[in-house]
């Protein structure tokens, strides 16, 4: 078990009001698995990711990576953000090498590693390009290479294709699966797109509206590459969509009663 | 040399309208100055002496580089270098303290709590109010340096704080997941993010620096400097020299700002932001 989350709870305090973002959230992820977290907005899926990444403290429960409690150590994770989060003053190569640089890896080794991963994400020849010279899809490729160059145990992706146009998004999904099958990483992927989740995931974790917990886990036993128009794909898609719609309605109802 | 000439030509071609308008503006200003002088001279007014013609001021300025003025009898270049040295000292000192202070105050609540009362207390006091005590306490070299320091410190501190506060949080998150220590986050994320803000602070600070240095040098009668030169010339009624000193400050200020601009361009190019 590479990731194991048990009874995770997170309570935020905002304007002196306590907001329970997560409550009794449980999840186990196997080595090499591709898991999507899906849920209505505000259900705390990003919070799960940030806690696993060690970016945020949990309120209670346990989060372990390879049997070690997150918080007692800095987990070796790679994170990819929706906003790309590239350092604008660094070239593609230098962005990819950031983690190696802070670890003190010597320059020749850094170059070898960054070349390897820029190659893997299909950006050979763009080493010296700066983020502002790259398209959204290319920026996200750099961000993926940067996360992988650090040789993480887990790749955490927070709606990484959320700000891309539909075509680029589909292309990047295919590319991600190609990279995933080469790099053989465990991926925890947050999205609010049902289509994306069914296309990518081995398992889809559907979360409830706030406070977020696991509503249901749906297996996607389809061969890759998946055909979005196949009967099996569509049937899983409708099943996920039905569950999600229910949660979405609940979330809306809650929002309305609050006002 | 060839590419420099080419680049200059490119700049001229691209900005010829601005260049022409700028030149017209200067010509109109100098003509107005000249006309006023001629008007006073024709009336036989004493104001003609207080406002010498731009031509006389220019030839006096050129002459000052060949032989010292007849009153202080110190080469003009020594006044210039005295002022420049003080500015340089005050500037470096202000940067060395304001940059780390700004970064810390922007990113740590405790440093902000410690620094803020001092900053709020000292900020409204004009640097020039410190001139008398600074001269008494630090003498004619370090006194004006201290004034320049005070003048530059605050704009740099505030621009650095503004920059360090506006760092995108995801950049810091990304750095942390990539294994950056707290110090590495400062060094490799927060500081570079702040650089453009710092550049603005530097340019604003340099202008304030020139104002401070001249005023401070006017109080201290020793140690030379352009402020001292201007004040002394006016006391001797050497108005052409006095104006020449003023023009020199304008020229030097333009030059230092220009150097800051070139430095800024160089930094942005190195950082891939241009």
Q: Taking a C-beta distance cutoff of 8 angstroms, is the pair B150, B216 a contact?
A: no
- Distances in Å between the alpha carbon of A7 and those of A13, A203, A209, B94? 20, 20, 17, 53
Cα–Cα distance, A209 to A249 (Å, whole number): 9
CB atoms within 10 A of CB A167: 9
Q: Taking a C-beta distance cutoff of 8 angstroms, is the pair B205, B213 a contact?
A: no
Among A83-97, A150-164, A234-248, B1-15, which is the least confidently predicted range?
B1-15
Q: pLDDT-based confidence at A41, cuts 50/70/90?
A: confident
Q: pLDDT-based confidence at A19, cuts 50/70/90?
A: confident
Torsion of CA A217, A219, A224, A226, to 10 degrees: -80
Q: pLDDT-based confidence at B221, cuts 50/70/90?
A: low
Q: Would the pLDDT of A145 be above 90?
A: yes
Cα–Cα distance, B151 to B162 (Å, whole number): 18
> Which of chain A's residues have a Cβ under 8 Å away from the Cβ of B163?
none
Q: Would the CB atoms of A55 and B178 count as touching at under 8 Å? A: no
Confidence (pLDDT) at B229: 94
Chain A nearest-CA residue for B168? A85
| pTM for the structure as a whole | 0.85
H-helix or E-strand containing B27?
helix B16-43
Q: Taking a C-beta distance cutoff of 8 angstroms, is the pair A3, A68 a contact?
A: no
Identify the residue among A56, A70, A75, A85 best suited for mutation to test binding to B, counting B beta carbons within 10 A and taking the highest.
Answer: A85
Q: Would the pLDDT of B267 be above 60?
A: yes
Average pLDDT of span A207-227: 91
- Distance between start and end Cα atoms, chain B: 23
Residue pLDDT, tens place only, B118-131: 999 998 899 889 99
Residue pLDDT, tens place only, B194-210: 999 999 999 999 989 99
Residues 6+ apart with CB under 8 A from A128: A91, A92, A93
Cα–Cα distance, B13 to B7 (Å, whole number): 10
- Distances in Å between the alpha carbon of B101 and those of A90, B91, B202? 25, 15, 15
> Which of chain A's residues have a Cβ under 8 Å away from the Cβ of B195?
89
> In this complex, is the C-beta atom of B62 within 8 Å of any C-beta atom belonging to chain A?
no
Q: Taking a C-beta distance cutoff of 8 angstroms, is the pair A155, A80 a contact?
A: yes
- DSSP annotation of A59 reads S
Q: Which of B171, B177, B188 sits opposite A77 (nearest CB)?
A: B177
Confidence (pLDDT) at A17: 87
Burial (CB < 10 A; 0-12, 13-18, 19+), residue B173, is buried
Cα–Cα distance, B248 to B83 (Å, whole number): 11
Cα–Cα distance, B234 to A66 (Å, whole number): 81
> In this complex, is the C-beta atom of A98 within 8 Å of any C-beta atom belonging to chain B?
yes
């Amino acid at each position: 078990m590479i990731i194991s989350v048990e009874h995770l709870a997170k309570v935020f305090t905002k304007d002196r009001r306590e907001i329970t973002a997560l409550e009794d959230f449980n999840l186990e992820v196997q080595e090499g698995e591709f898991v999507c977290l899906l849920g209505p907005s505000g259900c705390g899926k990003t919070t799960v990711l940030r806690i696993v990444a060690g970016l945020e403290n949990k309120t209670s429960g346990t989060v372990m990576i390879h049997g070690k409690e997150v918080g007692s150590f800095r987990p070796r994770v790679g994170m990819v953000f929706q906003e790309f989060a590239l350092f604008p003053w660094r070239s593609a190569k230098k962005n990819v090498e950031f983690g190696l640089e802070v670890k003190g890896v010597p320059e020749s080794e850094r170059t070898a590693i960054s070349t390897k991963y820029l190659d893997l994400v299909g950006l050979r020849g763009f080493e010296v390009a700066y983020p502002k010279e790259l398209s959204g899809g290319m920026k996200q490729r750099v961000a993926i290479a940067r996360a992988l160059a650090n040789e993480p145990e887990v790749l955490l992706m927070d709606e990484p294709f959320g700000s891309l146009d539909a075509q680029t998004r589909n292309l990047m999904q295919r590319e991600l699966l190609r990279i995933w099958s080469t790099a053989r990483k465990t991926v925890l992927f947050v999205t609010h797109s049902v289509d994306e989740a069914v296309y990518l995931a081995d398992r889809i974790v559907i979360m409830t509206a706030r406070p977020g917990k696991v509503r249901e886990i749906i297996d996607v036993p389809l061969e890759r590459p998946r055909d979005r128009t196949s009967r099996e794909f569509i049937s899983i898609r409708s099943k996920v969509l039905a569950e999600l719609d229910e949660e979405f309605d609940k979330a809306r109802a809650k929002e309305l009663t609050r006002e | 040399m060839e590419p420099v000439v080419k680049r200059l030509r490119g700049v001229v071609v691209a900005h010829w309208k601005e260049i022409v308008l700028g030149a017209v503006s200067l010509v109109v200003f100098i003509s107005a100055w000249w006309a006023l002088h001629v008007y006073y001279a024709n009336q036989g007014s004493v104001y003609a002496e207080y406002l010498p013609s731009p031509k006389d001021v220019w030839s006096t300025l050129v002459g000052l580089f060949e032989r010292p003025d007849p009153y202080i009898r110190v080469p003009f270049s020594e006044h210039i270098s005295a002022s420049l040295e003080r500015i340089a000292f005050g500037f470096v000192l202000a940067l060395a303290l304001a940059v780390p202070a700004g970064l810390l105050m922007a990113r740590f609540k405790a440093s902000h709590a410690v620094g803020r009362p001092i900053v709020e207390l000292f900020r409204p006091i004009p640097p020039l109010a410190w001139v008398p005590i600074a001269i008494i306490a630090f003498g004619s070299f370090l006194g004006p340096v201290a004034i320049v320091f005070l003048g530059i410190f605050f704009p740099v501190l505030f621009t650095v704080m503004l920059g360090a506060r506006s760092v995108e949080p995801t950049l810091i998150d990304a750095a942390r997941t990539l294994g950056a220590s707290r110090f590495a986050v400062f060094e490799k994320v927060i500081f570079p993010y702040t650089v453009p803000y710092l550049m603005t602070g530097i340019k604003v600070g340099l202008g304030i620096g020139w104002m401070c240095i001249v005023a401070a040098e006017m109080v201290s009668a020793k140690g030379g400097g352009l402020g001292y030169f201007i004040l002394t010339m006016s006391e001797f009624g050497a108005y052409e020299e006095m104006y020449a000193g003023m023009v020199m400050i304008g020229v030097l200020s333009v030059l230092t700002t220009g150097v800051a601009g070139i430095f800024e361009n160089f930094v942005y190019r190195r950082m891939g932001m241009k």
